[in-house]
Chains A and B, each alone.
Chain A
Amino acid sequence: MNELQFRDPKLARSIAASMERMLDEIGRPVAVMHVCGSHEQAIARFGLRSLFPKALDVIMGPGCPVCVTDVPEVDEGVVLAGQGVTIATFGDMLRVPGTVKSLADAKASGGHVEIVYSPRQAVELARSTKEEVVLFATGFETTAVATAAVILDDPPPNFSVLSAHKYIPPVMEIVAEMPESRIEGFLAAGHAAAITGWGVFEAFVERHNVPVVVAGFEPNDILAGLAELVELVRRKTPRVVNMFPRCVSREGNIPAQTQLWRVFRPTGGRWRGIAHVPNGNLRLRDEFAHIDARKRFTIDLPSLWDYAPPQFAGQCICGEIMSGIRNPRDCKLFNRECVPENPIGACMVSNEGTCKIWHLYGGVPDLEASA
């Protein structure tokens, strides 16, 4: 396989030109949403926004798992780190603010917080020590599957999981139902769809009458996915199209789904800044209570709440940004009080957060347009 063909700038410009023609035919601006931080990351990294037609508004939805991890979930990790257990988590989580502290703050005040790259590494960490190791597990279904696999693979007795995993399909419903929504199509994340299969979006298209295109993460995967979405809008034929057939099938990865649902059950819960999302959170089933950090430890959350919440937290509009209603320029704190060195909202923390990505651009998403 030659990955380079998915990164050929000439092909990219060609696809962009096709998209331009389709939009000319439509004759009005079109807004579409992607729901994956990795898509925004690739768009940012390759400077793809400067290739997008002016009439196409690509909005970033609630696709950053780190950003939507709710404040009380971070608090649970922070409290546990202060209770003498070792918290193992992904690098992006470290600076996400809780009510008063982030995990990085907990680490600075003596808590044990270790960065891992994979759930498996957290298990290895547990095997290498006598201390309690808690995997603070964040991420969408793709990552939850990896957590499920280590839970089912006989982890050592000092290993447990604090699950903040989230499930994407329900939040797409929430966004599609928002009255302010002007989204005419969704670009679905290829990695997540590799697990769930693209069939999962068929009922969604039926209900909301908007097309969904599954796309991969190489620059040309994204451009081709967007072009297909625009084409479906042009033809007024909402349906699911899989533009990532090398990784996604209709039924998805059945063994992975089996393990995912054996370990986790979907439950309603808040996504930071967005809403209560029915079935949006993945929690461990009772059968795995012995590995569930929430059941194994008494997490003394109120001990944190003796402190006043940070001064600016109330002014943060991360939620509206993640819902695609507003953008970072609408935020009073953006690039003033809220910067990556001192983030107020989670969108400024994660490499996949809209505010962080916009900050990296110097506050503008498209250099050509602003120059």
Chain B
Amino acid sequence: MTALLEPRVTLKQGGGGRAMRTLIEKLFVRDFAELPFDGVGVGAMDDGAAIRIGDEWLVITTDSHVIHPVFFPGGDIGRLSICGTVNDLAMMGATRVLGLTCSVILEEGFSIESLQAIQRSMVAACREANAPVVTGDTKVMGRGELDGIVINTCGIGLTRTLIRDNSLRAGDRIIVTGSIGEHGLAVMALRHGIEIEADLVSDVAPLNALIASLLPRGTITAMKDPTRGGVSSALHEMASKSRVGIVLEEPAVPVTAAVRAIGEMLGIDPLHVANEGKALIGVHAEDAEELLALLHAHPLGRNAAMIGTCVTERPGSVILDTGFGRRLLSEPDGEPLPRIC
């Protein structure tokens, strides 16, 4: 194993791109995937795992949340930790959340007032998602041993229809449930001290009710939430696992004026940054309009748009049609950094 990895972990291995996937595949997945397990397991590297129980699937997922700053426009680490896990369940079809766990690790000296605000925000998000926290754990570490607060949540849910991220077929259309890039750029603008006055807040929201409204149609072929690494990373993963190419129509991708402007300013492509309240949905071409209409009827889906098509050419690639010409869309490698000129 030593030959496969650098001696020390670097930040780019947490950026949601290829470096992170390599680390996970080489270090964790390979050996764990060999252990006997009947269902969708760690080897699938999907949003969660699924175990067959009678005529339903039990979906399990876990996610640790660290974010700097802890409070950001539109949310905080508490809301993020609930929504992230609820959404991972929803992406596999488990829109009914049976229960969530919540582990909090705190740094000595963390403000109790902040902690209370985070806890209130978690409760509010739980109500929104109709998802109860049913057990938890708290640890405190010495000053400097971690940065403020880490929250891990784990969720379980049930579904009759299991949705995967590897089942796109050529001809399928790709729908995004709303405008992209808001979470990532709101946090990045704040983190890099970019002084701007704009209506830009994180989109962090639980998607399970929105997804539940689509499921009875049975037309969804694949689904993924474009969190770290953004739409680009999620589409690359779906394309590669499904062995199709995806043609993405850039002019059709919904982007707010604020996101476009800040992206231009920082030299960061909104397709590369995190969303915390959006889903990418694959659907048979003939059902796409109907699904889009259903999305438009829901407040979280009113800006949904058809943005791409699956093709047989260049499996695993995402081809971006800019309106001027076509090029391959890049996959982010590590945290996007603002550029110089």
Contacts and interface: CB of A to CB of B under 8 A. Distances in A.
B35 interface: no
A50 interface: yes
A93 B10 CA distance: 16
A367 B319 contact: yes
Contacts of A37: 341
Nearest to B22: A341
A368 interface: yes
Interface stretch (A38-46, A249-257, A292-300): A38-46
Given A65-B341, A351-B339, A362-B317, A51 B334 contact: no
B324 A51 contact: yes
A32 interface: no
Given A47-B320, A142-B341, A368 B325 contact: yes
Interface of A: 9, 12, 37-38, 41, 44-51, 65-66, 90-94, 104, 108, 115-117, 121, 124, 138-140, 142-143, 191, 219, 339-341, 350-352, 359-362, 364, 367-368, 371
B64 interface: no
Interface string B12-26: 100001110010000
The size bracket of the interface on B is 35 or more
A143 B12 contact: no
Contacts of B314: 371
Interface string B309-324: 0000110010111111
Given A45-B322, A367-B328, A341 B19 contact: yes
Nearest to A341: B19
Given A351-B267, A362-B328, A341 B340 contact: no
Contacts of A94: 337
A371 B321 CA distance: 14
A247 to B, nearest CB: 14
B194 interface: yes
Interface of B: 8, 10-12, 17-19, 22, 192-194, 266-267, 269, 313-314, 317, 319-328, 330, 333-334, 337-341
A12 B327 contact: no
**A9, A90, A117 — which one has the most chain B CB atoms within 10 A of its CB?**
A117
Contacts of A12: 324
A92 B339 CA distance: 5
A108 B8 contact: yes
A98 B324 CA distance: 38
A368 B319 CA distance: 11
A46 B337 contact: no
> Closest 8 A-B residue pairs measured CB to CB?
A91-B337, A50-B325, A47-B325, A360-B330, A47-B327, A90-B340, A341-B19, A340-B333
A61 to B, nearest CB: 15
A65 B340 contact: yes
Nearest to B319: A367
A47 B324 contact: yes
Given A104-B11, A142-B341, A361 B324 contact: no
B327 A361 contact: yes
Nearest to A108: B10
A350 B267 CA distance: 12
Contacts of B330: 359-361
**A45, A48, A66 — which one has the most chain B CB atoms within 10 A of its CB?**
A45
16 contacts: A9-B323, A45-B322, A48-B324, A104-B12, A115-B337, A115-B338, A116-B192, A116-B193, A140-B341, A191-B341, A340-B333, A341-B17, A341-B333, A341-B334, A352-B339, A362-B317
A50 B325 CA distance: 6
B192 A367 contact: no
Contacts of A44: 327
A90 B327 contact: no
**A115, A191, A341, A360 — which one has the most chain B CB atoms within 10 A of its CB?**
A341
B11 A108 contact: yes
A115 B192 contact: yes
B325 A46 contact: yes
Nearest to B13: A341
Contacts of A51: 324-325
B9 to A, nearest CB: 8
Given A124-B193, A341-B334, A91 B339 contact: yes
Nearest to A364: B328
Nearest to B321: A47
Contacts of A66: 340
A142 B340 CA distance: 11
A340 B10 CA distance: 14
A350 B193 CA distance: 22
Given A46-B325, A91-B339, A341-B22, 4 more contacts: A142-B341, A341-B333, A361-B330, A371-B314
